[in-house]
C-alpha cells in the first residue's frame, strides 16, 4: 500500500468495504458504507481522537485476537479502527 506524508504515518493500514448496494446511493439512502483502518496501537489512537471527539466509544476486544472501535457518522457510514492482537504476523515479519 502506498504511503505518503500525513497524520497516519506507518502505523496504519486502511481498507474500504461496501456493505450494501453497488456504489450508487439513491436519494434518501445515504450511508451504509464502512471504512476499516488498522492501527498498531488502538489505545494511543483512541486517546488522540478524544482530544477532538470526547464521545469516542470504548474499545471492544476479543482478548489476544483483535481490538475494535466503531465510529458512525450521521448518514450511518462507519469507520472501524482495529488493531490485530495476534503476534504471528509480527513474528513472520521479524523472521525475514
* Cell reading at 67: 481490538
pTM of the complete model: 0.62
What local confidence, expressed as pLDDT, does residue 53 receive?
Answer: 85
- Cα–Cα distance between 95 and 88 in angstroms, integer? 11
What local confidence, expressed as pLDDT, does residue 38 receive?
Answer: 94
What local confidence, expressed as pLDDT, does residue 68 receive?
Answer: 96
- Cα–Cα distance between 60 and 84 in angstroms, integer? 12
Residues across the chain: 96
Parallel, antiparallel, or unpaired for β 60-62 and 66-72? antiparallel
What local confidence, expressed as pLDDT, does residue 7 receive?
Answer: 47
Residue 76 confidence class, pLDDT cut points 50, 70, 90:
confident
Amino acid at each position: 500500500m502506498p504511503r505518503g506524508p500525513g497524520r497516519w504515518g506507518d502505523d496504519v493500514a486502511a481498507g474500504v468495504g461496501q456493505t450494501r448496494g453497488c456504489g450508487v446511493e439513491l436519494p434518501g439512502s445515504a450511508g451504509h458504507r464502512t471504512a476499516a483502518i488498522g492501527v498498531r496501537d488502538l489505545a494511543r489512537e483512541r486517546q488522540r481522537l478524544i482530544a477532538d471527539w470526547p464521545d469516542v466509544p470504548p474499545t471492544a476486544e476479543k482478548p489476544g485476537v483483535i481490538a475494535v472501535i466503531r465510529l458512525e457518522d450521521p448518514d450511518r457510514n462507519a469507520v472501524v479502527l482495529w488493531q490485530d492482537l495476534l503476534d504471528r504476523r509480527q513474528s513472520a515479519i521479524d523472521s525475514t
